[in-house]
Amino acid sequence: MGLLGSSVSLLGVLLAVLGYLVWTGADLGPLNPLAQVVKPYLERFSTEEPPERLFTPQQLSKYTAKSGSPELYLAIMGKVFDVTKGERVYGLNGGYSFFVGRDGTRAFVTGEFTEAGLIDTVDGLGWRDLLGIEEWVQRYEKDYTYVGKLIGRYYDEEGNPTKELLDVDEKMKTAHSEKNAVEEHKRNFPPCDSMYTEEDGPKFVCTKESGGIERDWVGVPRKLYTEAGSDKYRCICVKNTGPPAGDPGAAQHSDRGDLDNPLVNLQEFDGCASDASACKP
Ligand code: HEM
């Protein structure tokens, strides 16, 4: 190896050692100014996440265009996101500037964009709204940069989840179960399609795709009364042969599908054959 080659290798070794020392944060004495120059370059190649920041509501409130901040931050469920790239929407004249500088979780599903509505509690919201909030959080995680946590309702001063957050997490799990149950119910009892023809007038029809639910059975239209004491009903298609829709492998069944399901209050349409796939309302 020539003189040039060995000097290059020596320089390489020196740089590697210097890089390592800078990286570990060692005190390099007179070389400290050099470390300050090198560090940002090293950080650029780092795969480590930047440290998470903790905000008090007061600190978060400064990250608005109104306060003259170039960086715009908002919080949802106590998670703080940098939404600066959405300046058009969240900046001074943006239509959603009220979300910035605070945690307005509740308003993401209530649409109440007032001081009273822009609050962080989800208390008393139904499962659909809770899932709506979860979707918004996922959307911010996907579209914007997460910067840290807001100290308050959902995170304590060490950044640990509060009891309230853990309770909401539990309610989210229940919300998912409710959604699954509703979807399963809709698969087993799909809505009828409404049709209108010149000769027959309006009709409720069951097909293998009615209600947008694809299945391998047609079913028969039945009235489903959902409100006690009311004559309002929805038309649903009920499986009328073979095992129940929700239990296709049932060894023992009456070959009447879900017609005898005791949990669903069903009624036939007047003047319509029990096994007809279309009935007049
Ligand atoms: C509960 C009601 C609503 C909430 C919580 C809500 C919330 C939001 C939020 C947070 C954004 C910004 C998303 C981002 O960062 O990219 C947004 C954007 C937008 N929203 Fe809404 N919104 C609601 C209802 C509506 C309605 C009813 C309309 C239309 C009639 C609408 C039209 C828009 C449009 C056009 C944008 C894009 C803005 C732009 O790019 O300039 N929103 N919405």
DSSP characters for 174-215?
A: HHHHHHHHHHHHHHHSPBPEEEEETTTEEEEE--TTGGG---
Pick the CATH number of 53-181 from 3.40.50.20, 3.90.1300.10, 1.20.1730.10, 3.10.120.10: 3.10.120.10
**Is there an atom of ligand 1 within 6 Å of 211 CB?**
no
**Is there an atom of ligand 1 within 6 Å of 218 CB?**
no
Distance CA 144, CA 99 (A): 14
Distance CA 62, CA 45 (A): 31
Distance 155 CA to ligand 1 centre (A): 27
* pLDDT per residue as tens, the chain (281 positions): 455 555 556 666 665 665 565 565 566 666 666 666 666 666 666 666 667 899 999 999 999 999 999 999 999 999 999 999 999 999 999 999 999 999 999 999 999 999 999 999 999 999 999 999 999 999 999 999 999 999 999 999 999 999 999 999 999 999 999 999 999 999 999 999 999 999 889 999 999 999 999 999 999 999 998 777 888 999 999 999 999 999 989 888 889 999 988 877 889 999 999 999 999 99
Distance 178 CA to ligand 1 centre (A): 27
Under a CB-based contact definition with an 8 Å cutoff, are residues 72 and 83 in contact? yes
Both structure tokens of 83? 């939404």
Distance CA 189, CA 159 (A): 46
Distance 112 CA to ligand 1 centre (A): 13
**Is there an atom of ligand 1 within 6 Å of 96 CB?**
yes
Domain residue ranges in the chain: 53-181, 189-281
Nearest to 137 by CA among 72, 208, 211, 76: 76
